[in-house]
Structure 1
Amino acid sequence: MRQFYKFLTIIIPFSIVLFFIQYYIISSFFENITFFYSTWSIYLFHLIITLLSYSFLLFVNKTFADKTGFAFMGFSLIKMMASIVFLIPLIQSDLTSQIPDVSAFFIPYFLFLFFETLFAVRLINKQ
């Protein structure tokens, strides 16, 4: 449980800082583009899925310590599928250019994935 609190104390400020950076960039440089998803909905999705993923990894590490790496890969696949489901309304929309919306989603996706990977590697190497 202590590991989860440590993760929370780092992921929450990380998310807030990234949110405000992206919000500033979108409102300053892309003010004439209407985005399909708001910045807060993208970050809420990323934060929730990352917290679920790390909680699951801690559970697997506690019960089946030798399967933590496989659990990380499996949940990463689930995370990718959840991202596609999240983006289906955007894909089916009639927007002329979906590139800004996809970029606004996947840049934080990869930053959260990098952050989660660092903690997962620490968790696996503790054994």
Structure 2
Amino acid sequence: MNQSALKFSSKLILVLTIVFGLHIAALYALELPLFEHKIVLAYIVNALLAILIFAFLHKMKEKYKEQLGFLFIGGSLLKFVAFFIFFYESYKADGSISKLEFAAFFTPYILCLIIETLSLAKWLNKLD
């Protein structure tokens, strides 16, 4: 793994670990179930996909410089496919997706998306 991908991975894991702790603390404070709704899997899957997508884009940055935006969108599509494969069926089992289920998946998803976007924008600006 190159230096840029390693720095990204470290930053992402640190932020997700802190937010996961805050997420669990909020659930505890509200006396809600702590580890239901595949919350751990959601954080892990989102982190792994973000790291893989970032590393892939970083590897492709010279060869496909003009297409990186489309490749990034493809990575987002991959995350939605992962949602439907790993989470949707169990979340929708009772007929609706609850706020807790939504938060369990989309909290790490949004964080990963923000960190990915900021990191990619930073090194894409250096390419010009």
Tell me the TM-score normalized by structure 1. Answer: 0.84
Q: Which residue pairs with 2:100 in the alignment?
A: 100
CA offset at residue 58 of structure 1?
Answer: 0.8
Q: Which residue pairs with 1:22 in the alignment?
A: 23
Taking the aligned partners of 1:34 and 1:115, their CA distance within structure 2 comes to 24
Structure 2 gap ranges (5+) = none
Tell me the TM-score normalized by structure 2. Answer: 0.84
* Alignment partner of 1:119 is 2:115: no
Q: Which residue pairs with 2:3 in the alignment?
A: 2
Taking the aligned partners of 2:85 and 2:30, their CA distance within structure 1 comes to 28
Structure 1 gap ranges (5+) = none
Cα gap change, 1:85/1:35 in structure 2, threshold over 3 Å: closer, same or farther? same
RMSD: 2.2
| 2:57–2:72 contact (8 Å) kept in structure 1 | yes
Taking the aligned partners of 1:17 and 1:30, their CA distance within structure 2 comes to 20
CA offset at residue 81 of structure 1?
Answer: 1.9
Q: Which residue pairs with 2:40 in the alignment?
A: 40
Taking the aligned partners of 2:118 and 2:87, their CA distance within structure 1 comes to 26
